[in-house]
Structure 1
């Protein structure tokens, strides 16, 4: 029906008036949806045509008021006032960061904290959808600490995260909110820790373990239930999604840089987990929104959906907050070794450490540098991927925790439009990454390019990346660590740690250099409790060690002390 069409309406006294369709459409659309018998409010109509509304639907009444200020309303003043406040949620009350927070929040992060507190005050759920690297974790931890310091959190909160990010949550909680008592439910020993859940402020688990541990977790009552990388429940029929919906919590929160990747149903799944009454069931959402928007391009429905979810979704892109970001942000991501990978590491470590001790006893530390470096190289290769190690037993190991972590990070970064440089010292590791990318549907020369010492035409992949034709550039240390100008990149990933920090800085400076007009995010991937992490710790105290690692055996042994050697070959932590 044309917007200029006028309808005849009969008044109670019998008179007829002409009413423009354009004025009636938003009113009828909202009322039809609210009274829809298949909707979430179906069957909740009281006597005399009255309707009981949930709080999230009060915003729809506020939308009607805003659409036509001339309308006269009778009754429902409190729910309409609540709806107006919800619709105008941008006017947030500034909240002071918690006293125990050990890091200063950037302005946009403080606004995020204000928004999280707004949701809590109104008893609402929400999706914090900031770009990767903007600090969703630290904003959430600050929110949790406020709840503890205000004594509202009289029970633990639960974070569900991908396995590869569990250690990152634990480490950031230790650094930024040390007052929170954190319990990690991971590994075979986790069952013995279930009884101590009520004694902690923050409990960490993973999506694969959630369905297996559901009986124990569903018996607990949580203050906040937080899903990190919440796109993991985009399929509402998955075991993880069903288990998450079965948990008991006062408040629910989703964290994801990609709330919708392929279709609107993924966004519905997140919001259905948070507040099932907001968008109705899946069939109704498809009828009212997905089909009109995706199939017919209905802009009215699209705008209505956008306004409906706006109060419950906060997204800031790196471009939007660029003025608040430093020129270069370094982010360390640590991940524990996979089970069989861990066994291989420990087996090799014991054998290699014994071999090194025998060599040092026979020749002395100063003359044992070559065998020390060879032993450390093998342990580093296990950390990157067991297939790098030239042993038959290593080829049988299936787990590669760091490669899994990379494959968790990369899709989100690319979905956000990031331009990524991925560095590794091992060309064989780049080949394994390339194979994994292609198995995931990415195409060489179309979705990514590679530069190693064997690349004949170096200019071609560089030019294609700089021209914006491909978003991902795989580069080996020797081939591309120096001399390249890659200012099209805004993200650098160091797959394996470079024990010479100067060389690492040179690689990072392929992107972070004169001519770069965007903030650069630098990700360093480390395996927890291994030689990688210990060398990184030693770098801070002993710069000469890092410089010597790439300078040859004699130089390395000249700066290594027996205590350093014991540290590098120390066993993995049992935690």
Structure 2
């Protein structure tokens, strides 16, 4: 490939290095002011921060730099500043002292798709503060609070107030890529956004005709494609590297994490609504990605949080102190007062006669493993659990269980599953009251059975699973959300439909079977319980 035009190298190489060094100086000052814990991490910084911000009283004043001290003592002229060094210092002082951090109290003029909520404007101000202090951060608001909009508003601020048009890169799951593109178009149409997705031939044409020429502000691509096409992305000095669903890089040795760490970027932002599962090393991996010069050693970081030396209260307090400068997390109950709280109902259902027969067969066949006799193979035990879950969902998931041939769609489809008996009564009731429904299941073959059921009941529906093409996903969501839509229910695979999908026109969410990970179920519920919802979910 040819070299990039100078315009689209983002920040020129020399300017890129200078900006990085300036950010280091600012960030250490900022971190020292935030919490005394960071004095332990600052020993790696060899030069004193030049920022005029006042240092906390508990820190001793910084000594003058060696060069200036030797000049004042009459040392030889070789220690004096060169013209280039003095120019750089003057530019640095000017940008540090004269630049004022903007704080918005209302929706910025470049946001065109509507009004931002108060907490979203506060989130934008927090992101701007991080940028101006040279800090990378984690936007970790609960799902459904508009993290995408807050991120877009930050990039709009850089373009319209700092004259930084990019290039920016946004790395997202495949399920959210169309949503990110639509949100940019809706909220900030002044940003020119390109999306990399498609086959190998389509991507090659995209790289040569759109990516490399560089007439764009933001490039959106997926986790998989950023690894496959990393050679093209390495040619850019990105202004912002943004990763959605950032818990995907909590393992610093994963291929995705190693790939994005190779990219040159002035700033980094992680976006995630999924909290980490109490793993300190995963937290260090994210902080190391954000600030490798501060959080460089995992063993040193772990030593700060040794549970043997700290009780739980002290451990939590210390963790909050470390995360305060980097992480912003709000939950819906705290900030979105106008959103009606969701109401959860758990329905316990018995087994049908056919389900009892199949359940007994499965247990009888592998009773030794269930009772723990002999050497228990974990994979075989997990397989038994999966077979029992299939039986609880619907016995027709087993080959030979459905009567036939000929195979007919009739009431036997309902009566042979305890869950479907209850679901049938529930759907008929909520349809009468004017509600619209989302149904989630882990198993795509359960969706096949539900699809037959909907055809028999003459329910109008949409279906989305892992095999649904990208373009069709977008069309299905638009069809379901349109004001004139006649679709009564939307069936989704929990794994394929848990992220980046806004179906707030529905007000009933049914989890036909729960996931082992409770976060997946919460994500499924938040497809409807999110901003824009006017009914109780």
1:145 paired to 2:156: yes
- Within-5 A mapping of 1:523-534: 528-530=470-472, 533=475
Q: Which of 414, 417, 442 is the aligned partner of 1:453?
A: 414
Name the structure 1 match of 2:527.
none
Equivalent residue of 1:252, what SS? strand
How much has 1:135 moved relative to structure 2? 1.0
How much has 1:325 moved relative to structure 2? 2.7
Q: Which of 162, 184, 188 is the aligned partner of 2:173?
A: 162
Unaligned 5+ segments in structure 1 are 1-26, 46-50, 66-70, 78-90, 329-417, 423-437, 459-473, 486-490, 506-524, 548-575
Is the 2:178–2:474 Cα contact (8 Å) retained in structure 1? no
The separation in 2 between residues aligned to 1:113 and 1:32, in whole angstroms, is 26
How much has 1:193 moved relative to structure 2? 2.4
Change beyond 3 A, Cα 1:269–1:450: same
Name the structure 2 match of 1:194.
207
Name the structure 2 match of 1:15.
none
Q: Which of 232, 235, 248 is the aligned partner of 2:251?
A: 235
Equivalent residue of 1:254, what SS? strand
1:313 paired to 2:330: no
Is the 2:174–2:222 Cα contact (8 Å) retained in structure 1? yes
Is the 2:194–2:218 Cα contact (8 Å) retained in structure 1? yes
How much has 1:302 moved relative to structure 2? 3.9
The separation in 1 between residues aligned to 2:384 and 2:249, in whole angstroms, is 21
1:132 paired to 2:143: yes
Change beyond 3 A, Cα 1:277–1:168: same
Equivalent residue of 1:149, what SS? helix
After superposition, the C-alpha distances for 1:18-66 in whole angstroms (9 at most, x for unaligned) are: xxxxxxxxx9xx999846xxx6634x55xxxxx74699xx99x74xx5x
The separation in 2 between residues aligned to 1:441 and 1:167, in whole angstroms, is 38
- Within-5 A mapping of 1:384-423: none
After superposition, the C-alpha distances for 1:427-482 in whole angstroms (9 at most, x for unaligned) are: xxxxxxxxxxx989998999x98698346656xxxxxxxxxxxxxxx999635314
Compare relative contact order (CA 8 Å, sep 6+) and give the higher one, 1 or 2: 2
Unaligned 5+ segments in structure 2 are 1-31, 65-100, 348-380, 395-412, 432-436, 442-446, 462-466, 489-537
The separation in 2 between residues aligned to 1:172 and 1:296, in whole angstroms, is 44
TM-score, length of structure 1 as denominator length: 0.49
Change beyond 3 A, Cα 1:32–1:321: closer
The separation in 2 between residues aligned to 1:108 and 1:131, in whole angstroms, is 12
1:94 paired to 2:94: no
Q: Which of 427, 439, 447 is the aligned partner of 1:481?
A: 427
How much has 1:184 moved relative to structure 2? 0.9
The separation in 1 between residues aligned to 2:473 and 2:273, in whole angstroms, is 31
Equivalent residue of 1:253, what SS? strand
Is the 1:142–1:177 Cα contact (8 Å) retained in structure 2? yes
Equivalent residue of 2:333, what SS? coil
Change beyond 3 A, Cα 1:41–1:159: same
Name the structure 2 match of 1:367.
none
1:303 paired to 2:317: yes
Equivalent residue of 1:145, what SS? helix
Query: How much is the aligned-residue C-alpha RMSD, in angstroms?
Result: 4.9
Name the structure 2 match of 1:221.
237
Q: Which of 261, 265, 278 is the aligned partner of 2:294?
A: 278
Equivalent residue of 1:266, what SS? helix
